[in-house]
Structure 1
Amino acid sequence: MALYLPQDDQLKVALNHNPDSLLIVCYCAAWCDTCTEYRLDLAALAAQHPEWVFVWADIEETPDLLDDEDVENFPTILIERQGQTLFFGTMLPHISQVERLAQNLSEPDTEPFEGPAPVNVRDKLRLSEI
């Protein structure tokens, strides 16, 4: 599967076809050199895991995907399934950490994330014009 941008029409198709899949959103910024390098790794990870939906969200272009949350460090990752946030936080830019985290969170008995996080990002991406 691809690494989608929030405005991609194919993203809505992927979200509708895979309603139970993990949604993995990477919040970054165009001016961030670390993000530029990380984006290539995330795209490669997306190609390796077509069972998950990956989104690249520039915080300056799509601030509505953050609700009232602030992103102070990059990359910041959100992982959501069926409208429940499973993880939201900054990670070191090592793609293997995201892959391992997503594999662990893909288990059906995973508890929801308890901290502050954007809410219902999947629905925002699926239903809105961003």
Structure 2
Amino acid sequence: MSYQILDQTNRRQLADALRNDTWVVACLCAQWCGSCREYDAAFRAWAERYPQHHFVWIDIEDQADLVGDMDVDNFPTVLIQLGQTVAFFGPMEPDTRLAERILLAQTQKTDGELQQEAISSAERRQWQEECSLFDKLRDLV
């Protein structure tokens, strides 16, 4: 299983997953959030079902320098990324079923389809500019 709780000592592991074109599924949460604590068990179980992907738990307060300008308004917020392309960014219900369907739909797309979608709307272009873990880690690792 590829699951990590991001901290200052293991960011390179996440950066390597992104550089190696591994699908990254990040949960952006906060320790004080009850919904996040409930989501954690489901997120870990989801990670166990998909060991070929890299799942990462990011506490937005502990990792504020990495999260930066990401617009995390609700918890949990999920980010799904392949390499430099953010395929999805948004709040989720505290249940992984919808997020899992989104991930499965994204992983079936070609690189060209992912790239086309990444620039298909103002919101998706904003994800590429403000939410890319690949770009954020480049400056920190």
Query: Normalising TM by the smaller chain, what interval?
Result: 0.7 to 0.9
> What amino acid maps onto 2:21 in structure 1?
D
| Aligned pairs, number | 129
User: Any residues of structure 2 matched to 1:30-49 within 5 Å, and which?
Assistant: 30-49=31-50
Q: Is the 8 A contact 1:22 1:80 kept in 2?
A: yes
Structure 1 residues without counterparts, runs of 5 or longer: none
Q: CA RMSD in A?
A: 2.4
CA deviation string 1:5-62 (max 9, x = no partner):
2227666346536712211111001011110010111011111101111110111111
Q: Is the 8 A contact 1:5 1:56 kept in 2?
A: yes
Q: Is the 8 A contact 2:70 2:131 kept in 1?
A: no
Distance 1:96 1:52, change over 3 A: same
Distance 1:7 1:126, change over 3 A: farther
Cα distance in 2 between the residues matched to 1:50 and 1:11: 19
Cα distance in 2 between the residues matched to 1:14 and 1:121: 9
TM-score (normalised: structure 2): 0.77
Q: Is the 8 A contact 2:24 2:53 kept in 1?
A: yes
Q: Is the 8 A contact 1:15 1:53 kept in 2?
A: no
Which segment drifts farther, 119-128 or 102-111?
119-128
Do residues 106 (structure 1) and 107 (structure 2) align? yes
> What amino acid maps onto 2:51 in structure 1?
P
Structure 2 residues without counterparts, runs of 5 or longer: none
In structure 1, the residue matched to 2:77 is 76
Q: Is the 8 A contact 1:21 1:81 kept in 2?
A: yes
TM-score (normalised: structure 1): 0.83
Identity of aligned residues (%): 33
Cα distance in 1 between the residues matched to 2:61 and 2:11: 19
Cα distance in 1 between the residues matched to 2:51 and 2:8: 17
Which segment drifts farther, 69-78 or 119-128?
119-128
Computing the radius of gyration from Cα coordinates, the structure with the larger value is: 2
In structure 1, the residue matched to 2:5 is 5
